[in-house]
């Protein structure tokens, strides 16, 4: 779907077919979709961090980040945690089923401004989804960026998403630090909460940008940890998850004060976060 079509018909979804389904964790599935209309497929474009509304007809629609990178256009990928009516219906889909998609929505990571700098990703659980699209975009343009470190954690090894890509990331030069909340049989990586591992790794803030996403409590302590390490607000980006309904700034379901996450976000700088009301 192009921007012009979204502007003219903001509530009209385009049809897409489920090409692949990946069981990431016991409660998270990844769906790879392809457009039914070849003209939509040829015109569609998006940027890392933008989201889309997926419709399950007769049930409803929900918002998910597009976690495939714009540099790989063979399909559009969304990862869905089973939490409510729409996500339960999505988890019941099979390969070949049709869904509606309204995308792209929202803003994106300003990754062109990050060229030439070292990059630090800090993710927790399904919060790795929005980071993945930016990470893969950078890996597909590897010479434009400096050192890339990924600190990624979950409650247990089986709660880590995209495990099948970890070798690819490391082969591309990513310093990947994996952690789980407590010891598990056979687990040979780090053990501890993500903010604790961040403090232990202590990546130098000089010429580095930090991007984080995960559970709100993790983000809260990660932001505090980054400040303790000397990161300035303009070196930090995160994505906010609010319950979006319309996705175009009309319904008021996702606002924080006068800020609408669906149109002003979901990507926010540390400086923008600091200007938001304390309800965040």
Q: What is the pLDDT of residue 243?
A: 61
Burial (CB count within 10 angstroms: exposed 0-12, middle 13-18, buried 19+), residue 77: buried
Proportion of the chain above pLDDT 70, given as a percent? 87
Q: Are strands 208-213 and 118-124 parallel, antiparallel or unpaired?
A: parallel
* pLDDT for res 240: 75
Check residue 275 and give its pLDDT: 73
Averaged pLDDT for residues 173-200:
97
- Residue 111: predicted pLDDT: 93
DSSP string, the chain: --HHHHHHSTT-PEEEEEEEEEEEETTEEEEEEEESSHHHHHH----TT-EEEEEETTTEEEEEE--S-TT--S-EEEEEE--SHHHHHHHT--TT-EEEEEEEES----GGGGTTSEEEEEEEGGGHHHHHHHHHHHHTTGGGS--EEEEEEESSGGG-S-GGGHHHHHHTT-EEEEEESS--TT--SEES-HHHHHHHH----TTEEEEEES-HHHHHHHHHHHHHHT--GGGEEEE-----SSSSS-S-SSEETTEEHHHH-SEEEHHHHHTS-TT-
**Residue 242: what pLDDT?**
60
pLDDT the model gives residue 42: 92
- Give the integer Cα–Cα distance in Å for 227 and 230: 5
Give the mean pLDDT of the chain: 90
Rounded to two decimals, what is the model's pTM?
0.90
**Structure-model confidence comparison of residues 204 and 1, the more confident one:** 204
Report the pLDDT value the prediction gives residue 270, as an integer from 0 to 100. Answer: 83
pLDDT digits 0-9 by tens, 80-117: 999 989 999 999 999 999 999 999 998 899 999 999 99
Question: What's the confidence (pLDDT) of residue 271?
Answer: 81
pLDDT at 36 over 70: yes
Of 180, 184, 178, 181, nearest in space to 166 by CA: 178
Contact call for residues 259 and 269 (beta carbons, < 8 A): no
Q: Nearest Cα to 180, choosing from 200, 160, 198?
A: 160
Q: What is the pLDDT of residues 121-166, one digit of tens each?
A: 999 999 999 999 999 999 999 999 999 999 999 999 999 999 999 9
Spatial separation of the C-alpha atoms in residues 80 and 159, rounded to whole Å: 13
Residues in the chain: 280
Q: Is the pLDDT of residue 194 over 80?
A: yes
């Amino acid at each position: 779907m192009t921007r012009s079509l979204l502007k003219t018909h903001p509530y009209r979804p385009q049809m897409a077919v489920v090409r692949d389904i990946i069981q990431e964790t016991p409660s998270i599935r990844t769906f790879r979709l392809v457009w039914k209309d070849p003209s939509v497929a040829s015109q569609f474009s998006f940027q890392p961090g933008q989201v889309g509304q997926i419709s399950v007809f007769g049930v409803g629609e929900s918002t998910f980040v597009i976690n495939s990178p714009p540099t790989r256009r063979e399909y559009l990928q969304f990862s869905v945690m089973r939490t409510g009516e729409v996500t339960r219906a999505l988890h019941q889909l099979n390969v070949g089923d049709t869904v509606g998609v309204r995308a792209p929505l929202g803003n994106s990571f300003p990754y062109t401004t990050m060229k030439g700098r070292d990059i630090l990703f800090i993710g927790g659980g399904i919060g790795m989804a929005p980071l993945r699209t930016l990470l893969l975009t950078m890996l597909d343009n590897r010479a434009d960026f400096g050192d890339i470190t990924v600190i990624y954690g979950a409650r247990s090894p089986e709660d880590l998403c995209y495990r099948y890509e970890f070798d690819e990331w490391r082969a591309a030069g990513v310093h990947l630090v994996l952690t789980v909340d407590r010891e598990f049989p056979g687990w040979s990586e780090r053990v501890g909460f993500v903010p604790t591992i961040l403090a232990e790794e202590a990546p130098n803030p000089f010429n580095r940008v930090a991007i984080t996403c995960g559970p709100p409590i993790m983000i809260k302590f990660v932001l505090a940890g980054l400040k303790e390490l000397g990161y300035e607000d303009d070196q930090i980006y995160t994505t906010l998850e609010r319950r979006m309904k319309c996705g175009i700034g009309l319904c008021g379901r996702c606002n924080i004060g006068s800020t609408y996450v669906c149109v002003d976000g979901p990507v926010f700088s540390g400086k923008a976060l600091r200007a938001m009301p304390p309800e965040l």
